[in-house]
């Protein structure tokens, strides 16, 4: 179907909307105009399955726009509610859930996607969403452009974007960078690190991008997991441009793990009490979530061998967030080692001891998912009650 541009007036501000008609995306802010690729893996037989009904019935979606209105700074004291972003394996799409107390979370779209991965990603799926509020008042969201079941779900004719023997399991090229001032209207950029930076021309992946403000450069720092061809995964950082549409500095490693052959993935960095605390996953035997601390945002992280998560099964995708008005921090992680998968939680006040408070809807756990199941690789961000209500109104609430 063709694309049309339209002027949409929402919440008292005007946005030029590029429109989402059909299941393709155009008119977005793309980091580079690149020629078609010709190095895909060997094709599999034609697929006859139809579209994923969980995606097709997503209902109302976020709007992709080409310009944003000016952002407004909201004091942290007013950010007493919570927004959780996550994805699901069955749809490879984006979801929002809100909470007023940081314990019970309710999906704003009744457990349906609020942005279809098929509509925005080259691989027709997204994973590993991360969201944060910048000091300018704008919201920054980053995701992995990857569908690990793309061939099975008939959105890709090959198992991976490139041959696994050369570029590894789950290989991909793009990360997706998005920016908003109201959580409803977003710019979108597809960023291919392998084409931006010659040193990474043979990068096998760009996984789990996250964003944090770098006060020294006054730019948003984007950090993510990568590897060279089919080598071990490691974590790097780069600076984004002000529009959040591309990366501007050559990615550099942010953690020197003592055993370089061990995969290190899924970094999550938070400034706490003047120190940067990085939680990440080390694929030791067994793999687990670790913590490293530095006085600098992009280097100097000190290795600590201690396992942080209380799980007895595999967990990944750590995310740290603070309970409003307290010095209690919550470490959330994706417990993919259980079936069905779930989110796990531990609390700390000193970053030495972490108290296990269970998984969503476990007996005795204060953490509740009221109308959704099996969230994966999520982030929790502080929002105002008004911002949470705006999302709930837009998507129609819990239904």
Residues 391 and 179: their CA atoms lie apart, in Å, by 16
Element (H, E) at 344: strand 342-348
Chain mean pLDDT for the chain? 88
Question: Measuring CA to CA, how many Å separate 95 from each of 19, 238, 290, 310?
Answer: 20, 26, 27, 26
216-259, pLDDT tens digit by residue?
Answer: 999 999 999 999 999 999 999 999 999 999 999 999 999 999 99
Residues 4 and 25: their CA atoms lie apart, in Å, by 11
The share of the chain scoring above pLDDT 90, in percent, equals: 83
pLDDT at 285: 82
* Cβ atoms of residues 250 and 186 within 8 Å: no
The answer on pLDDT for 98 being more than 50 is yes
**All domains in the chain, ordered by first residue:** 6-31+49-395 (2.115.10.20)
Residues near 282 by beta carbon (within 8 Å), at least 6 away in sequence: 257, 262, 263, 264, 288, 290
Token reading at 256: 């020197």
Token reading at 294: 């530095």
Considering the entire predicted model, what is its pTM?
A: 0.89
Task: Give the model's confidence band at 207: pLDDT under 50 very low, under 70 low, under 90 confident, else very high.
Answer: very high
Strand order in the sheet with 368-369: 368-369, 104-107, 94-99, 81-87, 376-383
Token reading at 220: 């948003």
pLDDT at 67: 96
Burial class (CB in 10 A: 0-12, 13-18, 19+), 51: middle
Residues 38 and 377: their CA atoms lie apart, in Å, by 31
Residues near 167 by beta carbon (within 8 Å), at least 6 away in sequence: 160, 161, 204, 205, 229, 230
- Single out the residue of 182, 211, 205, 178 nearest to residue 192, CA to CA: 205
Neighbours of 199 (CB within 10 A): 13
pLDDT at 341: 97
pLDDT at 337: 94
Please state whether beta strands 63-64 and 185-192 pair in parallel, antiparallel, or not at all (unpaired). parallel
Residues 252 and 175: their CA atoms lie apart, in Å, by 17
276-293, pLDDT tens digit by residue?
Answer: 999 999 999 878 999 999
The share of the chain scoring above pLDDT 70, in percent, equals: 85
Residues 194 and 188: their CA atoms lie apart, in Å, by 19
9-31, pLDDT tens digit by residue?
Answer: 333 333 333 333 233 333 333 33
129-188, pLDDT tens digit by residue?
Answer: 999 999 999 999 999 999 999 999 998 899 999 999 999 999 999 999 999 999 999 999
The answer on pLDDT for 397 being more than 70 is no
> 59 by DSSP, 3-state: which?
coil
Question: Measuring CA to CA, how many Å separate 138 from each of 37, 131, 133, 135, 141?
Answer: 34, 11, 6, 7, 10
* Cβ atoms of residues 310 and 346 within 8 Å: yes
């Amino acid at each position: 179907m063709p694309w049309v541009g339209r002027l949409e007036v929402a919440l008292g501000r005007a946005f030029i909307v590029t429109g989402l008609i059909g299941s393709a995306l155009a008119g977005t802010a793309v980091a580079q105009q690149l020629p078609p690729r010709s190095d895909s893996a060997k094709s599999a037989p034609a697929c006859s399955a139809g579209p994923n009904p969980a995606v097709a019935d997503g209902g109302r979606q976020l709007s992709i726009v080409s310009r944003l209105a000016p952002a407004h700074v909201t004091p942290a004291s007013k950010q007493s509610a919570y927004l959780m972003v996550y994805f699901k394996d069955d749809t490879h799409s984006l979801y929002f859930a809100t909470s007023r107390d940081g314990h019970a979370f309710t999906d704003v779209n009744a457990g349906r996607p609020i942005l279809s991965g098929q509509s925005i990603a080259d691989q027709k799926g997204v994973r590993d969403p991360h969201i944060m509020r910048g000091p300018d008042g704008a919201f920054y969201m980053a995701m992995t452009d990857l569908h690990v079941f793309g061939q099975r779900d008939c959105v890709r004719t090959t198992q991976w974007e490139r041959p696994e023997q050369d570029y590894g399991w789950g290989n991909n090229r793009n990360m997706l960078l998005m920016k908003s001032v109201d959580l409803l209207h977003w710019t979108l950029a597809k960023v291919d690190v392998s084409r931006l930076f010659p040193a990474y021309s043979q990068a096998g992946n760009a996984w789990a991008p996250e964003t944090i403000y770098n006060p020294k450069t006054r730019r948003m720092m984007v950090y993510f997991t990568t590897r060279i061809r089919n080598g071990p995964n490691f974590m790097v950082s780069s600076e984004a441009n002000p529009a959040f549409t591309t990366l501007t500095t050559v990615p550099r490693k942010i953690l020197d793990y003592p055993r370089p052959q061990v995969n290190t993935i899924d970094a999550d960095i938070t400034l706490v009490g003047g120190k940067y605390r990085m939680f990440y996953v080390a694929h030791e035997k067994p793999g687990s979530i670790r913590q490293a601390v530095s006085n600098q945002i992009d280097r100097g992280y000190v290795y600590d061998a201690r396992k942080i998560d209380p799980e007895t099964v595999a967990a990944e995708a750590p995310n740290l967030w603070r309970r409003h008005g307290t010095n209690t921090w919550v470490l959330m992680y994706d417990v993919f080692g259980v079936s069905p998968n779930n989110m796990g939680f531990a609390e700390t006040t000193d970053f030495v001891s972490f108290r296990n408070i269970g998984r969503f809807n476990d007996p005795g756990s204060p953490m509740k998912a009221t109308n959704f199941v099996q969230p994966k690789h999520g982030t929790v961000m502080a929002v105002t009650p008004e911002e949470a209500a705006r999302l709930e109104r837009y998507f129609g609430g819990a239904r």
